[in-house]
Amino acid sequence: MIVDDYVVLWSPHQRYFHVETVGEMLEKNLAIFQRGERADYIVLGFERTQSAADAVVERLKPIRDAIEEGVQPVDAPNERPSSPV
């Protein structure tokens, strides 16, 4: 079931990646909506396992670091996570 899959999230304000299940994300998003708040995290991809989601984060960290340094990474993968948004 999709709620048991994992989602790779990025917080632009915190400059932080986060991995959790789709179900956890949906519960949090609903609570944020009900409180009339804003969410900071954006979805970067979906994976079937936490280890696959963690691997996506590891592939994205050098890209994040290059962007923060003002350098466009030349070896940035053109591929998206296996289940792109």
Residue 5 has pLDDT above 60, yes or no: yes
Could you tell me the pTM of the whole model? 0.80
CB of 46 closer than 8 Å to CB of 85: yes
What pairs with residue 42 in β-bridges? 10
Residue with tokens 């940035």, as numbered in its chain: 76
Q: What are the Cα distances from residue 71, in Å, to 29, 40, 52, 67, 74? A: 33, 24, 27, 5, 9
CB of 43 closer than 8 Å to CB of 85: yes
* pLDDT, tens digit, 9 for 90 and up, residues 41-55: 999 999 999 999 999
What residues contact 37, with CB distance under 8 A and at least 6 apart?
Answer: none
Q: Domain boundaries in the chain?
A: 2-68
